[in-house]
Amino acid sequence: MNPADLNTVEGVYPLRPRLEHGPVVGGSEGVGRVAEVGPDVHGLCVGDLVVPVRPNLGTWGQELVALENEVHKVREGPLEGLALTSVCMATAFRLLEDFVELCPGDVVIQNAATSAVGQVSGARARAYPQLFHREMQRSDSANRL
């Protein structure tokens, strides 16, 4: 479970669920299989795997109704990994790609990277052969660096 979902339920996360249609089911991450499509849907078919692209879509429920532009079709794969693509993997990618331009010889240091975002960021950083990557698991690890 993504801590952001718990923060949303607690009312402390900046993105608030839409309440205009009554009670809200929590959940922003997940993967589902399309069970039905409406007559105006052209990019999805029954049986397609999809992930949410809008926060607070209600992925904690057994079923949900979504607009075509609120989900994204994905290829078949391990459901546990696909469920992380819309938030955790995207966040990890953006952490390494959007804030600074990484160059050969740069060092990526992770601290307390035990969350899904931290683990994916570490795996992505290790995939860059030109980068030097270190993970600090405990405070005494800093002394070894």
The domain tally of the chain equals 2
> What pLDDT shows up at residue 70?
92
Q: Which backbone phi and psi does 8 adopt, to 5 degrees?
A: -65, -45
Question: Is pLDDT of 18 > 60?
Answer: yes
Question: Is pLDDT of 19 > 60?
Answer: yes
Q: Is residue 92 part of a domain?
A: no
Residue 79 in tokens: 């459901």
DSSP 61-111: SS-----GGGEEEE-S--HHHHTTIIIIIHHHHHHHHTSS---TT-EEEEE
Domain of 140 in residue numbering reads as 100-144
Mean pLDDT of all residues in the chain?
79
Name residue, tokens 């402390």: 12
Q: Which of 54, 83, 112 is the last residue of a domain?
A: 83
Q: Are residues 76 and 105 in the same domain?
A: no
Q: Is residue 67 part of a domain?
A: yes
Q: Is residue 52 part of a domain?
A: yes
Q: Which backbone phi and psi does 33 adopt, to 5 degrees?
A: -115, 130
Q: In 10 A of CB 63, how many CB atoms?
A: 9
Answer yes or no: are the C-beta atoms of 70 and 59 closer than 8 Å: no
Residue that wins the pLDDT comparison between 83 and 130 = 83
Q: Are residues 79 and 126 in the same domain?
A: no
Question: Is pLDDT of 2 > 50?
Answer: yes
Average pLDDT over residues 94-114: 77
> What pLDDT shows up at residue 121?
78
Q: Are residues 22 and 64 in the same domain?
A: yes
pLDDT-derived band of residue 145, with 50, 70 and 90 as boundaries? very low
Of 9, 13, 110, 136, the active-site residue reads 13
d(CA 114, CA 32): 26
Q: Is residue 9 part of a domain?
A: yes
Answer yes or no: are the C-beta atoms of 30 and 59 closer than 8 Å: yes
Closest CA to 144 of 103, 109, 96, 95: 109
Q: Is 128 a catalytic residue?
A: no
Q: Is residue 119 part of a domain?
A: yes
Pick the most confident of 67-81, 98-112, 130-144: 67-81
Q: Are residues 117 and 74 in the same domain?
A: no
Average pLDDT over residues 112-140: 68
Q: Is residue 55 part of a domain?
A: yes
Q: Are residues 79 and 125 in the same domain?
A: no
d(CA 137, CA 38): 49
CATH of the domain at 76: 3.90.180.10
pLDDT-derived band of residue 48, with 50, 70 and 90 as boundaries? very high
Q: Are residues 107 and 79 in the same domain?
A: no
> What pLDDT shows up at residue 106?
78
Q: Are residues 63 and 13 in the same domain?
A: yes
Let me know the angle formed at the C-alpha of 97 by 59 and 143, rounded to the nearest 5 degrees.
Answer: 100
Q: Is residue 115 part of a domain?
A: yes
> What pLDDT shows up at residue 136?
55
